[in-house]
Chain A
Amino acid sequence: MYQAWILTALLVWPLVGAALVLLAPRQWAKHLAFAVSLGEFAISVPMWWTFVPADGMQFRCDAPWMAAWGIHYSVGVDGISLFLVLLTTFLVPLSILGSYSYVTLRERGYYALLLVLTSGMIGVFVALDLFFFYLMWELMLIPMYFIIGVWGGANRLYAAIKFFIYTMFGSLLMLVAIITLVYLVGQKTGVYSFSYEHIMANLGDVGSLAYWLFAAFFLAFAIKVPLFPLHTWLPDAHTEAPTAGSVILAGVLLKMGTYGFLRFAFPLFPAVATHPVIQTTIVVLALVGIIYGGLVAMVQPDFKRLIAYSSVAHLGFVMLGIWALNLQSVQGALLVMINHGISTGALFFLVGMIYERRHSRLIAAYGGIARVVPLFAAMLTLVSLSSIGLPGTNGFVGEFLVLLGAFQTSPVAATIATTGVIIAAAYLLWALQRVIYNPLDKPENETLLDLSIREVAVLVPLIACIVWLGVYPKPFLERMQPAAQHFIDTVKPK
């Protein structure tokens, strides 16, 4: 019972919640939304225990939808998507709690959109039907577009449309590729079906067409990741979005790109993805992203933009880990995906909290505030250290595994990527120094209030995860291991 319905419940419950939020009185909206998202988290948590790592795809549910056209409602999770689903349900309540004082305009719409977005994100991670996947992939664009465009910063309109058109352009070509795949498999087997498993099992070798199809999937996912040089939408969107929007964007939406590579682009076209030229190109782009993202982050005057560029660097590690193609590196990539969601999410929360007090995101506007807001300073330091990858925090484990794995495949790439870690230390520590240390020379900063209980409540779960993953990542790794191994077995050239 629970097995078959949990994913459907996760998809439907936020939609029900969104409808309730829209109907509720304005002053209840945020509390109701928070309750709904906590409920969502509560539904998802038992998956942690009931998930059987060795069983592959589970919690399956399959129902005909447009059966005559081979379209089913088909969902399931494995060791790759389980953590992304849990990360989503974990971050959403925190985002809602973190928006309590930030969003004061049209609250009902805001919280309803956040809940619809939740449903869309989970849909992307659990879809096992390519039509359903595409539908969810595009549907979650709309809530995010509105969240950036209505509740964002000064330059929000530009950021919103850029985000929308970039993503849509990539995904439309993916749609053409999906239909072509279905058609090819249909011609071969006589069954026209959008089922992921059916296509995986029967695709076989499609010759040079595979390169075009891979290119279409690649474009859609690489824009989302974002891989250098397709990243230019990211700094704008992340910077202009409201705090919760940035957290969700960085924490979950970027992972859709890497998830897409792991689930679709790579397993469907292993011969293309492991073609030496393509493999080298992607690894080089990932390395450029790591170094370039870090260097650009270093010179940003805007703290939020700095974090946005640091995302480009972190996601470069994920791409490197996936393409290094061994157990350590793939597990590392999966772990970096989760870590980045937690650490960068926490960083965006912290910047959002200080922004609400001073209404400035500029690093230069602060200085020496550790004396005024010690709790904030302590949290910011801890989270920054985890983002740098200090041993004992989550950041270390993931990046270490990626580097370890990548070193076996390509020592040069691993060496270059390691300098990325050093750059990360440079830009974050330098920013820390300018924000919370240095002399307290701005009179406006002397009256800042320290974190409220609500804000602490947002940050504590994140920090607990940072420590847990840093000290004892085994429960995560053992749940990922079979899926990572299965991925490698599927795609590794024989």
Chain B
Amino acid sequence: MSLDLSRYRDLLIALSPELVLAGWSMIILLVVAVRHRTAADLRLAGWLTFAAFVTTGGVVWWLWWNSTRSAGLAAMIAVDDFRFVTDGLFLVTGALTVLLSADYLEREELLAPEFYVLLVFATLGMMLMGGAEDLMVFFLGLELMSICVYVLSGIDRKSPSGAEAALKYFLMGAFASAFLLYGIALIYGATGTTNLTLIGAQVQALELGHSIMLLLGLGLLLVGFGFKVAAVPFHMWAPDVYDGAPTPVTAYMAAGVKAAAFAALFRVLTEAFPTVGVWHQIVWWLAAITMLAGNLIALAQRTVKRMLAYSSVAHAGYLLVAVSAGTAVGSAAFVFYLIAYILMTLAAFAVLATLGQHGERDVRIDDLAGLSQTRPGIAFALAVCMLSLLGFPGTAGFIGKWYILIAAIAAGQGTLAALLVIATAISAGYYLPVIMAMYMKPEPVDGRARAGVPLGPLAGFVVTASIAALLVFGILPSRLLELARSSGASIGATTMAVPGSPTPTQLSLPRD
């Protein structure tokens, strides 16, 4: 299906996923305004949110199935497979987070149905980020997502660490937003446009490759993105925030928020700056430092949640390797790793949420001793997560890493590939002790063993589905690889189709 985005009807079709989700958000907001006192109300809001994600997912699938493309220049929102696949990812993350939260919120007595409204808005923001074809749309999406997530991380008002996390996240996030905005302003100053494709065309036409203003803008943009994806040295907020937030929110942040920031980063760099070579080096260094520092610091962690927080910093490094390659293989590897990363992160945090109650911050790795005897299913799930995070063959994490290695080597970055595997070997030093504690250490005899809470049916579904997907995609990844390849290739495809180099004035909002 080909859409002419200058016509309202086609623009509405192009925006239909966002519109459907926005519509749902209004409905949920209204329902919650009336019913927000009991646990039943909470459950109702949860199911409505789940339905919102599922129906929106259906719309995205429909657009993807009809291979919808824009005929001309996409002014505000991209219409390509990359957007559909990342939208699908954000919606899956959102839906799984709903399932994870349902039991958790009741258990922790967080009877705040606003939680779900915020989740819907945050997901809407992510979708705008992943699909933004214009820096302003991207920024709006980013703010919509960020503000909701600031609140979500402090949703547990009784928890001082939650409040600390929210404040820290808010300050750091505001700081990062300022960097991004300033960067956007400078780029606009240099090229006279905020449309990604047109920026690319302008840079080429006006030979802005060495323009100080443009490079400064790009640099500030990268700093802002560095904060958002928690790349070293801009990662300091991440462990504290991940640690302090309620576990389902942490899962949502580590999986969804990070994925959205990465999707936007990837689109901006490949569409707007394909001819500016300097970012490859910057991202190269960011990737190298992030992988090594993230893994080394994670080695020293004693609590599972903090260890996972630093491990997610390290994984940002692996993803940056794929970004740094900047090739078609790189984009495919990027999409595949993103999918695998989201699955394993969600599953790991879902398992963690069942291991402790009231103070789950303190589930130490030693507390897992003997878990394989007391809760064999949970232990198995966590072991698979750890192996997948480690990138062990037989899991989707391995295929993802393998694909990133291919991308790095094909792009002539053999050194970065070697650093990646060295970082992986380091990471074995903290993933394996988890397995070791569960399977090889005896259960503590003095009754200190953590029973945790039973895995509810919904969270159980999340864990089972993610683990099954990790194992299946680890052995038979062909279809998912194909999806990753086609969606990775779709990005920047429109860049080629720009006729000449239109001046910014030629581009205007659709009028009838």
- Residues of chain A having any CB pair with chain B under 8 Å: 66-69, 134-135, 138-139, 142, 145-146, 149-150, 156-157, 160-161, 164-165, 168-169, 172-173, 175-176, 179-180, 183
B26 contacts partner chain A, Cβ-Cβ < 8 Å: no
- Residues of chain B having any CB pair with chain A under 8 Å: 387, 392-394, 402, 405-406, 409-410, 414, 417-418, 421-422, 424-425, 428-429, 432-433, 436, 439-441, 477-478, 481-482
A173 touches B393 (CB 8 A): no
Contact residue among A150, A164, A180 (Cβ-Cβ distance under 8 Å from B439): A150
A-B CB contact pairs (8 Å), 15 listed: A69-B481, A135-B394, A138-B392, A138-B393, A139-B394, A150-B439, A157-B440, A160-B440, A161-B428, A161-B436, A165-B429, A173-B421, A176-B405, A179-B405, A179-B406
Given the interface pairs A134-B393, A179-B405, the reply to whether A172 lies near B477 with Cβ below 8 Å is no
Q: Is the interface of B mostly helix, strand, loop or mixed?
A: helix
B481 touches A68 (CB 8 A): yes
Residue ID in chain A nearest B417 by CB atoms: A176
In the assembled complex, which residues on chain B have CB atoms less than 8 Å from the CB atom of A67? 478
Q: Is the interface of A mostly helix, strand, loop or mixed?
A: helix
B477 touches A66 (CB 8 A): yes
CB B196 to nearest CB in A, in angstroms, measures 30
Residue ID in chain A nearest B433 by CB atoms: A161
Q: What's the Cα separation between A165 and B414 when bound, in Å?
A: 22
Given the interface pairs A135-B394, A168-B428, the reply to whether A175 lies near B402 with Cβ below 8 Å is yes
Most buried by B among A134, A142, A176: A176
Residue ID in chain A nearest B478 by CB atoms: A66
CB A198 to nearest CB in B, in angstroms, measures 17
Given the interface pairs A68-B482, A69-B481, the reply to whether A176 lies near B425 with Cβ below 8 Å is no
Contact residue among B387, B405, B421, B428 (Cβ-Cβ distance under 8 Å from A165): B428
Q: What's the Cα separation between A381 and B402 when bound, in Å?
A: 50
Q: What's the Cα separation between A149 and B409 when bound, in Å?
A: 35
Contact residue among B410, B414, B424 (Cβ-Cβ distance under 8 Å from A172): B424
Q: What's the Cα separation between A135 and B392 when bound, in Å?
A: 9
Residue ID in chain A nearest B424 by CB atoms: A172
Contact residue among B405, B429, B432, B440 (Cβ-Cβ distance under 8 Å from A175): B405
In the assembled complex, which residues on chain A have CB atoms less than 8 Å from the CB atom of B394? 135, 139
Q: What's the Cα separation between A150 and B387 when bound, in Å?
A: 17
Most buried by B among A66, A69, A145: A69
A173 touches B418 (CB 8 A): yes
B481 touches A176 (CB 8 A): no
CB A148 to nearest CB in B, in angstroms, measures 9
Contact residue among B393, B418, B421, B481 (Cβ-Cβ distance under 8 Å from A66): B481
CB A113 to nearest CB in B, in angstroms, measures 11
Q: What's the Cα separation between A168 and B424 when bound, in Å?
A: 9
In the assembled complex, which residues on chain B have CB atoms less than 8 Å from the CB atom of A157? 436, 440-441
B439 touches A146 (CB 8 A): yes
Given the interface pairs A142-B392, A172-B425, A176-B417, the reply to whether A68 lies near B405 with Cβ below 8 Å is no
Q: What's the Cα separation between A183 and B325 when bound, in Å?
A: 15
Contact residue among B409, B417, B436 (Cβ-Cβ distance under 8 Å from A160): B436
Q: What's the Cα separation between A180 and B433 when bound, in Å?
A: 32
Given the interface pairs A139-B393, A172-B424, A179-B406, the reply to whether A156 lies near B440 with Cβ below 8 Å is yes
Q: What's the Cα separation between A180 and B405 when bound, in Å?
A: 9
Residue ID in chain A nearest B439 by CB atoms: A150
A176 touches B418 (CB 8 A): yes
User: Other than the known A150-B440, A183-B406, what 11 A-B pairs have Cβ atoms closer than 8 Å?
Assistant: A66-B477, A138-B393, A139-B394, A157-B441, A161-B428, A164-B428, A164-B432, A165-B425, A168-B424, A175-B421, A176-B417
CB A203 to nearest CB in B, in angstroms, measures 15
In the assembled complex, which residues on chain B have CB atoms less than 8 Å from the CB atom of A165? 425, 428-429, 432
Q: What's the Cα separation between A356 and B92 when bound, in Å?
A: 54
In the assembled complex, which residues on chain B have CB atoms less than 8 Å from the CB atom of A168? 424-425, 428
In the assembled complex, which residues on chain A have CB atoms less than 8 Å from the CB atom of B441? 157
Contact residue among B421, B428, B432, B478 (Cβ-Cβ distance under 8 Å from A176): B421
In the assembled complex, which residues on chain B have CB atoms less than 8 Å from the CB atom of A69? 481
Q: What's the Cα separation between A472 and B436 when bound, in Å?
A: 47
In the assembled complex, which residues on chain A have CB atoms less than 8 Å from the CB atom of B392? 138, 142
Residue ID in chain B nearest A71 by CB atoms: B478
In the assembled complex, which residues on chain B have CB atoms less than 8 Å from the CB atom of A139? 393-394
Q: What's the Cα separation between A150 and B379 when bound, in Å?
A: 14
